[in-house]
Amino acid sequence: MTAHLAYGTLDEADGRPRLRFELTVAHPVERVWQAVSVPAELGRFFPGAAPWTPAEGEVVDLGGAVLEVTEVDAPHRLAWTFAGQPQAFELSRTEDGCRLVYTHVIDDLPAAQTAAGWETYLARLEPHLAGGFLSDEEAHEPWREIHERYAERFGVDPEPGRRWADANLPAGRR
């Protein structure tokens, strides 16, 4: 069984814009917890993996931006604030494995561009759990199409994300 990633949604949390992604994988909660909480594993699919324990109250300086772990309930919830923006992994058992919900309060970040980025990175989790590896470059191949879909769904201007893609994606990915 391959992972199923539900499209990201945009809603509000405490009056702030929040992206939410749901991913179902055919692996036990404990295995997925290891992937999201152990820095060496997290770095295989998630950008800027923090060198954390993680422990509630832990503060990590990531080159000027501060990450603070706000909640650890192993193996079900790991929450943190990075640059003032709450993020979290929530894990729950399913009949066939684990449901992972990732949320990120985005404040002033461009919604479509940020959603496309998170979908791209979360798509790398299942290959990692299966013992493989999906490179950042391979994961970003459909970025432009993913971004356009989010811009349309969220009703936002796609131009900032298009400019980002032109400046940051390899020529073959534009």
Q: DSSP code of 38?
A: S
Q: What band does 173 get if pLDDT is binned at 50, 70 and 90?
A: very low
Angle at 165 between CA 118 and CA 88, to 5 degrees: 15
pLDDT at 7: 78
pTM of the predicted model over 0.85: yes
Residue 32 belongs to domain with CATH number: 3.30.530.20
For residue 40, the enclosing domain spans 4-173
* Angstrom distance (rounded) from CA 142 to CA 126: 17
Residue 171: per-residue pLDDT:
66
pLDDT computed for residue 128 by the predictor: 96
69 alpha carbon, distance to own chain's centre: 16
* Per-residue pLDDT tens over the stretch 157-169: 999 999 999 999 8
- Structural domain tally of the chain? 1
